[in-house]
Structure 1
Amino acid sequence: MTVGLALLLDLASRAPRCGASSVSAHSHGGLSAAAAAATAAAALSASGVPLSARHLFGFPGFTIAHCDAGAAAGLNDAPDLVNDLNNKIRDSIQYARKEYFQYPAKEYPLELKPLFSAFGLKNFSVTTLRSFLLYYLPLIQPKPQTDSDDDDDDLLHDAPEEKHVDLITPFHNSVKQIIRETSIVTTRRVLERIAVCHVSQRTAWKLLKDASKSARRKAARGMSTPEYTYCVARTTFRAHALGVAAAWVVQSIIEVYRCFIRKPSDDEESFDDMEKFRLFGRKIYGITIKSCFSLVLASIGAGIGALVHPRHGQWFGCALGDVAGPVVAIIIFEKMQLPL
């Protein structure tokens, strides 16, 4: 009964009326149709139609309405407009698919290394060998012999006593260097995990990127020399930032121990609390300046070294700039007569 009432109202709304223009008639017709649909919906809601079956009658949710009043209102070309719209949508979809397959969306894979990777067999062996060679190689260097013109004078002089070679101090220094390097690598792994959790995926990917592999990929793109050098230097700056930050954190902790925790020996001067804070501030200032120089020179060295070889040249230039950074900082500040 309710549906029949709605259909009767719809048919009555389509009947022609005298003394009114076609546009007005159709506008009233649209209103009457809408009113009929609303009346039918209200009747359905008032009747005992269950909720699970109301969508069949267009209530509630999306209202289903059919109106053919547009044909007499000057919209005879509606099918053409719909076809044009469908063609434009289809062309847009095809263009988007073509662009996607030609230039796919860039992904940012995050590869976190193990937290204690510095204690692996290979890495720890290389660190230990490098540390011991650093402090024991100077001991085996031959001392230059002085030539004298008079052999008789050499016979008169007593043979110089051989000095005892201290092997304990280089061993202690080597152990300290091993602890320092492993602490820096472990601190960097912690900073990488913090970056992954607190920054965007794109930023974390740039901080964790392998700069050597990135330089090799950039070399295959056919960039110009200035653009290639700049891109490699920028990538190295981002990828090397966490390493420099980890070194800064470890060195700052060492200075905290030296200034506030360690007891001064007999040869060292004792300072009060204010002098300790001032000394600690100067140490942190010097560490920060040296770290900044290391990061900048490592990036520049990597950009220049990548011109020789995309991968090995980038790595060698980065390492060379990292080592030369503190030395250049000390020389510049001494020339400018600034404390460091």
Structure 2
Amino acid sequence: MAGIAVLLDLWRKNQSFNPGLYSARTYQSTQFFSASAAATAASLAAGSSFASRALFGSQVAYSDAGVALPEDYISNIQSASEKLLNHDALQYSSTKQYNVQLKPLFSAFELRTLALTSLRSFLLYYLPLLEPRANMEDDDDFLEDNQEENHVDLVVPFKKSVIQIIRESTVVTTRRILERISVHHVSQRMAWKLLKDIPQSAVRKAGRKMPTLVYIYCVSRTTFRGHMLGVAASWIVQVGIDVYRFFTSGFKTLEEDDDEKQVGVLGQKVFVATVRCISSLIFASIGAGIGAAIIRPSRGQWIGCAAGDLAGPIIVAVIADKVFHVTL
């Protein structure tokens, strides 16, 4: 038995020199073989003669039938080996699951979303009408001029508000269509990145205790991916409106010179829409990273993304006007 134990120790040492050459199953079979060899050696020692016991110094009592291992001991060895096999199988075969959750196709027409869109659109066009206008002139016709100036047309802002509501709802619906296209035509991992909940992702990244610059970079990258479909939907709607206006105006005027001018104007509008959308995407990503680092992760990411989305086209337009003398 001592000789078998020495051989097993030498064999284990040889196995430990190159652990990378053996897989998990080889290691588990080695452990199971070692346990079986030890059990066999114990049974041989138990069933040996008095002379062999005197030679090996064994103190096991003699029995003609030998000593059998308990069934509990054998079952424990088998269960331990099965657990090791199952654990390694799960460890080596498990892959990350990407849960992609699609929102309803017509989510823009839900009551809460439509109400918020309507409120924002009406405030956008009716708030400028509430600004006070001071008239410092001391003329005789002061009251008449004041009455004429106070006459405000409320129909035009209402039409603009309705058009803005339709436009924003169309952008959201277009985004939902793009989400479904991305799910069916790109990999599951990429679709998960495009449809990820960005504020929740910022919260998870904040829990990892990253350095500030690394955290800003990671949140900006995630926002760039998640905001991409929304910007693409906005670009498609804007270009679609410009193309529709081009064709409707083309049927009214049939002169060739006017058609060439309109084609140039259409190309300029498409270029301006592209620049605005790209600047919106870039500045929204940067603003989301900075906002998540300064304010709370989820709320700061949302505020920074909205601020960058609004300020990006304005900043690019100012730079283009001052530096390149181009009006965007």
Same fold (TM over 0.5): yes
Q: Which moved more, 1:207-216 or 1:92-101?
A: 92-101
Fraction of identical pairs, as percent: 50
How far apart, CA to CA, are the structure 2 residues paired with 1:208 and 1:123? 19
How far apart, CA to CA, are the structure 1 residues paired with 2:323 and 2:170? 34
How far apart, CA to CA, are the structure 2 residues paired with 1:263 and 1:144? 44
Contact 2:98 2:192 survives alignment (8 Å): yes
1:118 aligns with: 108
2:159 aligns with: 172
* 1:247 equivalenced with 2:234 (yes/no): yes
**Match for 1:272 among 227, 248, 258?**
258
Q: Quote the RMSD (CA, aligned, Å).
A: 3.2
3-state secondary structure, aligned to 1:222: coil
**CA apart distance, 1:336:** 2.0
How far apart, CA to CA, are the structure 2 residues paired with 1:265 and 1:143? 40
**Match for 2:278 among 287, 292, 311?**
292
3-state secondary structure, aligned to 2:305: helix
Letter in 1 for 2:161: S
Q: Cα distance 1:96–1:327, how it changes in 2: closer, same or farther (>3 A)?
A: farther
Q: After superposition, where does 1:35-46 map in structure 2 within 5 Å?
A: none
How far apart, CA to CA, are the structure 2 residues paired with 1:238 and 1:316? 17
* 1:160 equivalenced with 2:144 (yes/no): yes
How far apart, CA to CA, are the structure 1 residues paired with 2:188 and 2:224? 18
Contact 1:264 1:270 survives alignment (8 Å): no
**CA apart distance, 1:328:** 1.0
How far apart, CA to CA, are the structure 2 residues paired with 1:292 and 1:205? 22
Q: Cα distance 1:272–1:159, how it changes in 2: closer, same or farther (>3 A)?
A: same
Structure 1 portions without partners, runs of 5+: 1-76
* 1:132 equivalenced with 2:119 (yes/no): no
Q: Cα distance 1:263–1:173, how it changes in 2: closer, same or farther (>3 A)?
A: farther
**Match for 2:168 among 175, 181, 206?**
181
1:88 aligns with: 27
* 1:217 equivalenced with 2:201 (yes/no): no
1:97 aligns with: 87
Structure 2 portions without partners, runs of 5+: 1-7, 16-21, 32-82
Instruction: Work out the number of aligned pairs and report it.
Output: 252
The one-character-per-residue Cα deviations of 1:100-124 (angstroms, maximum 9, x if unpaired) are 67xx743210000000000000000
How far apart, CA to CA, are the structure 2 residues paired with 1:141 and 1:264? 41
How far apart, CA to CA, are the structure 2 residues paired with 1:100 and 1:226? 36
2:307 aligns with: 320
Letter in 2 for 1:128: S
How far apart, CA to CA, are the structure 2 residues paired with 1:248 and 1:262? 21
Letter in 2 for 1:229: I
Q: Cα distance 1:119–1:271, how it changes in 2: closer, same or farther (>3 A)?
A: farther
Contact 2:194 2:225 survives alignment (8 Å): yes
TM-score scaled to structure 1, two decimals?
0.67
Q: Cα distance 1:173–1:314, how it changes in 2: closer, same or farther (>3 A)?
A: same
Letter in 2 for 1:314: Q
3-state secondary structure, aligned to 2:98: coil
Q: After superposition, where does 1:22-41 map in structure 2 within 5 Å?
A: none
Structure ranking higher in helix proportion:
2
Letter in 2 for 1:114: P
**Match for 1:109 among 85, 99, 108?**
99
How far apart, CA to CA, are the structure 2 residues paired with 1:131 and 1:181? 9
The one-character-per-residue Cα deviations of 1:207-233 (angstroms, maximum 9, x if unpaired) are 000111100111111111111110000
How far apart, CA to CA, are the structure 2 residues paired with 1:143 and 1:95? 81
2:50 aligns with: none
